[in-house]
Structure formats: C-alpha cells, structure tokens
C-alpha cells in the first residue's frame, strides 16, 4: 500500500475510505461478513483433527490491489506457463522428447508417483491435459513476482475468489462506484465454455458436462456444489454415473443421460476401480476405457499431477524454452533438490534459513520454515531429509510482500500470496483477479487456510 511514507496511487481511494470510516463501523462490517460466510456455508474441512473439523475461513475486508499494467504482465506469464505445462504433459505421455534431450531426468518423470501409465498414448480432446491451472505467486518487490508452485490437478479456492467479491460488493457498494474494478463473476461461464470446448468428437448436440465430487465429507465440497450451481451443471458422485458400451451415462429421474465432459474433483487413484485402486467407492468402473476410446473428456486428465510435482517445478523455465521457444516471463524461486547430493549438503548446512517442502505435499502440511522453527524442529526435519532426500526440495526464505490487513489492533501488514486461475481449452483465459491468501499471524509466511490463513478480495484496476 505504501512506497516509503507515500500511498501508492492504486490504494489512494482505499486509504481515503479507511480514514473516513469509523473503527466501530469497520468492526461491525467484519462481524457482518463473518455472519454472511457462516450463513452461506463457506467453510472448509481440516483432516486429522478430532471434533468439529468444519471451519469458517477468515475473511479480511481490506482488498489486495493490482494496477492493469501489473496484471497484464502476470496474465502473460501465467498463460505462458499453463501452455508449457500442457505441452510437457502431452510430451511425457507420448514421445518424451524433453527427456530424450537430457533436460529432465527420466526417473523424475517415469518413477514419479503422479505419473499414470494408464494414460500413455491417449490423446485428450484439443490436446489439453490440465484444464484448470492454479499458479501460486509471491511478490518480493515492485514488479518482482515469483512462482512458488504449480497446481495442475484440481486447484481449489476459486469459490472464495467469487464469494469474496460478492460479499465486498454487498457490504461496500460505495467502493465499487468510485473505482473501476475488473469483474470476476464471469468465471463460471468461462469454465463451462472451457469444458464444452474440449468435448470429444463423439458428442452429439450441445455437450453435457458434470462435476464429479467425492461427496460431502471432502474438504472442498462447498466449492464443488457452488461451482456446479454457478455453471448450471449437475453435481454428481461416482454412483450417479455408469458406463455402457463406449459412453458414460448419468442416472436421472427421466432415465439415463449421456455425459460428454467430466470435471473431476477426485484424485486419480479413485477415478476408476477397474484401472486404479480396486477398493475405490468414489469412481466409475470402466470410465478409463471410455476415456481411452474418446467417448468422454476428463478435466483435468488423469496423470496431470506429474506436471505440478515440486521437483518437476524446477524445470518449468526449461519447458517454456523447449516447447514454446520463449523466455520465461515469470521466474521460479531458487530451488534446491535434495535428491542431488550437493544440493542436499547445502540444505542440511543451512536448514535454519530455508523453507523445506515435501515433493508431493500440499496444503502447507509437512513444511519446515527454518527461521520460524526451533532448534529441535530443525534437527528432527534434518533426520527426515537424510532418510529420504528425494522427497524434499528447499527454497530461500523470501521477503514476501505484505498487504494492509484488519487485525484486532487495527490495520497492520500481513504476508500474502496469490493464486490466479487459468482456464485452458481451445482458448486460454485468465480471470482478472484470483485468490489472495493472507497469513493472519504476525510474521508468519504460511498462508494456507489449513494453517490458520485467511482470504482477501483481489482487485485489478482498469486504466
């Protein structure tokens, strides 16, 4: 918000608004926002805890603001990355040219637990494997953005992006009258069009899309039901679908209805018990045979997770150069691969200064933030790395940007990151905004909701 002691131009109207609004009014608005979230049911589940695991995600009323020139750079960079990741997925499930060229180690791909042999040789509609790509970004200075990680399977959180905007517009309409803020409410329509654009050739008439959910016990079930409702498509579970011949059908009160596109929100191993885990009760028996024969599209494709592995992440800039012939617009954070003996030695010697992540981890679980950890925690984590070095990567502790945030003491700086959502079909779209996550604990760098983080509205100001 500030450049030294001066207010950045993008935040001038917000600064004026805060100064003109009494603190008791802001506090009341905060309570109203929490009540709205609770009444609507915007919660998330935390696994591994006893008792009531349904939590209300903390919502901060102070939005994060981007100017249009800043956003255009991010948009170009995110779209570039999404195209390269999809090219990589097509390559490794076909000829593996990037591996033949010696750019990426074969073991890193073919022995990766996210690599699915059942997908080898399949050509998905429009050649797209990852249809919804969430790129986690951090800012370290004016115009300096870095990619923390890629999410190519089923990136969650877009419902918060949409609901944050809805609640802000409902509670503070005066802010939207005085500022030209790019709308995000077209995202569900763009998502539906993206899904329809990758319908298989065997589709007759308008494509029928469904959202496949594991059910109400899943941590992101609210988002599943919200998105299905917003898109106007059916929310289904595995038992609602069945395979007959070369097609997938949905059970309805009016008889079977053919399904052309499945937006799946379940993990690969549960999609089809005849192909993956035989004990899965969540998937559809025979679904992979239909997918293989071109009778249905699955978004995102099984096996897409190999592209967002944290060890594969290191090579994304090289993917951009190899497949697109371009220089990366957005840079990676410097990353040390513990599977490499020299990198591992450096990491172990500097563990107290680094952030270490599990290669296959997510949600902020299993991380070590060295500067915020005790000597005992660092020592215990070092033992884990020595035991299985290939399961970890490490990155320097970045000086993440902060954003004004309402806390008990008033307005204070808190660290933030950003997840924009890129839709990849026959066209590539990026919603003008995203999910800004904020670390509500002072000094914390961990923004995940499962670790106590909150969310903010994200504004892109039109020129």
User: Can you spell out the DSSP letters for 216-236?
Assistant: TTSTTHHHHHHHHHHHT-EEE
Q: Taking a C-beta distance cutoff of 8 angstroms, is the pair 45, 111 a contact?
A: no
Burial of 31 (0-12, 13-18, 19+ CB in 10 A): exposed
**Domains, the chain, ranges and CATH?**
2-333+398-461 (no CATH), 336-396 (3.30.1490.270)
Please report the pLDDT score of residue 56 as a whole number. 73
Residue with tokens 């005066």: 174
- Output phi, psi for 31, to 5 deg: -65, -40
Q: Give pLDDT tens digits along the chain (463 positions).
A: 888 889 998 898 888 888 888 888 888 888 888 888 777 766 655 545 454 456 678 889 899 999 999 999 999 999 999 999 999 999 999 999 999 999 999 999 999 999 999 999 999 999 999 999 999 999 988 778 999 999 999 898 899 999 999 999 988 888 888 888 999 999 999 999 999 999 999 899 999 999 999 998 888 898 999 999 999 999 999 999 999 999 999 999 999 999 999 999 999 999 999 999 999 999 999 999 999 999 999 999 999 999 988 889 999 999 999 999 999 999 999 999 999 999 999 999 999 999 999 887 665 567 888 888 899 999 999 999 999 999 999 999 887 888 999 887 788 899 999 999 999 999 999 999 999 999 888 877 777 766 668 899 999 998 6
CA distance 33 to 72: 31
Give the Cα separation of 144 and 165 in Å (integer). 26
Helices (H), 93-152: 97-100, 106-110
Specify the DSSP class assigned to residue 208: P
């Amino acid at each position: 918000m500030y450049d030294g002691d001066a207010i950045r131009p993008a935040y001038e109207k917000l600064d004026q608004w805060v100064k003109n609004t009494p603190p008791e009014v802001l506090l009341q608005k905060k309570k109203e926002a929490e009540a709205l979230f609770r009444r609507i049911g915007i919660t998330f589940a935390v696994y591994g805890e006893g008792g009531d695991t349904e939590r209300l995600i903390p919502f901060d009323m102070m939005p994060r603001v981007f100017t249009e020139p800043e956003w255009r750079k991010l948009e170009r960079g995110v779209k570039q990355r999404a195209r390269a990741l999809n090219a990589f997925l097509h390559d490794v499930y076909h000829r593996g040219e990037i591996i033949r060229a010696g750019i990426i180690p074969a073991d890193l791909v073919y022995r990766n637990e996210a690599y699915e042999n059942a997908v080898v040789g399949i050509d998905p509609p429009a050649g797209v494997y990852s249809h919804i790509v969430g790129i986690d970004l951090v800012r370290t200075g004016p115009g300096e953005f870095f990619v923390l990680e890629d999410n190519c399977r089923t990136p969650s959180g877009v419902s918060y992006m949409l609901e944050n905007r809805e609640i802000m517009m409902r509670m503070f309409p005066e802010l939207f009258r005085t500022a030209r803020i790019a709308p995000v409410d077209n995202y569900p329509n763009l998502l539906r069009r993206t899904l329809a654009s990758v319908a298989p050739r065997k589709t007759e008439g308008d494509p029928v899309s469904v959202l496949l959910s594991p059910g109400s016990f899943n941590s992101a079930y609210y988002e599943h039901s919200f998105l299905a409702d917003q898109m106007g498509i059916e929310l289904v579970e595995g038992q609602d679908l069945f395979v007959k011949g070369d097609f997938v059908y949905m059970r309805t009160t009016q008889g079977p209805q053919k399904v052309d596109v499945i937006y799946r929100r379940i993990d690969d191993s549960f999609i089809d018990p005849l192909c993956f885990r035989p004990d899965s009760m969540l998937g559809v028996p025979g679904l992979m045979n239909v997918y293989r024969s071109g009778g249905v599209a699955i978004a995102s494709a099984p096996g897409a997770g190999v592209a967002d592995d944290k060890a594969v992440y290191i090579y994304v800039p090289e993917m951009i150069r190899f497949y697109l012939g371009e220089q990366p617009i957005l840079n990676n954070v410097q990353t040390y691969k513990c599977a490499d003996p020299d990198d591992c030695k450096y990491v172990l010697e500097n563990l107290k200064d680094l952030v270490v992540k599990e290669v296959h981890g997510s949600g902020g679980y299993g991380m070590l933030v060295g500067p915020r950890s005790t000597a005992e925690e660092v020592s215990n984590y070092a033992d884990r790395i020595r035991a299985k070095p290939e399961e970890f990567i490490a990155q320097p502790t970045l000086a993440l940007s902060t954003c004004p945030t309402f806390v008990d003491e008033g307005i204070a700086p808190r660290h933030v990151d950003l997840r924009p959502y890129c839709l990849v079909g026959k066209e590539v779209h990026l919603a003008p905004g995203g999910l800004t996550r904020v670390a509500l604990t002072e000094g914390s760098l961990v923004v995940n909701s499962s670790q106590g983080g909150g969310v903010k509205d994200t504004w892109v100001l039109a020129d």
